[in-house]
Amino acid sequence: MSHKIYLVSACLLGINCRYNGSSSKIPELETLVDSGRIMPVCPEVLGGLSTPRDACEIVGDANGSEKVQTKSGLDCSDAFKKGAQRVMEICKACDVEKVILKANSPSCGCGFIYDGTFSGKLIEGNGLTSQLLLDNGIEVYNENNWTEAEFI
């Protein structure tokens, strides 16, 4: 009998892969870890970015296009797109239907992301990985709402 596999942002499982080299461990996820059904992922690391790295946000321009960049203006869009695609490939290979990703992140945020001004202000929107997964029918949750879904 096969069991469902769930992807979870590695930082939520205590892996120090956030932009600043830290994690955002959620102890309540231990139940899922103990089930043996969790696969940790970090789209930004999978996209080739180092840990630590400069903080990034999704920034729009006057033409309506968006890119992911650092506060100093370095365009990291390609790495974010590559990481999102790699997470999507893992989801397809493992028949993943649900994921738990880090809230507000330019990769993983679902529902809200930072507004691109590096001021800490949130706006409605999704990170690149979350949007790609949602577009492909995968349910995306974060550390604030994952208990609303049934895992296990």
Stated pTM of the model: 0.94
CA 58 from centroid of its chain's CA atoms: 13
Long-range CB contacts for residues 19-25, cutoff 8 Å, separation at least 24: 19/44, 19/51, 19/52, 19/53, 19/54, 19/55, 19/56, 20/52, 20/55, 21/51, 21/52, 24/102, 24/143
Q: Where are the domains of the chain?
A: 6-144
Could you give the CA distance from residue 79 to residue 45 in angstroms, rounded to a whole number? 9
For 21-54, write each residue's pLDDT tens digit: 999 999 999 999 999 999 999 999 999 999 999 9
pLDDT at 1 over 70: no
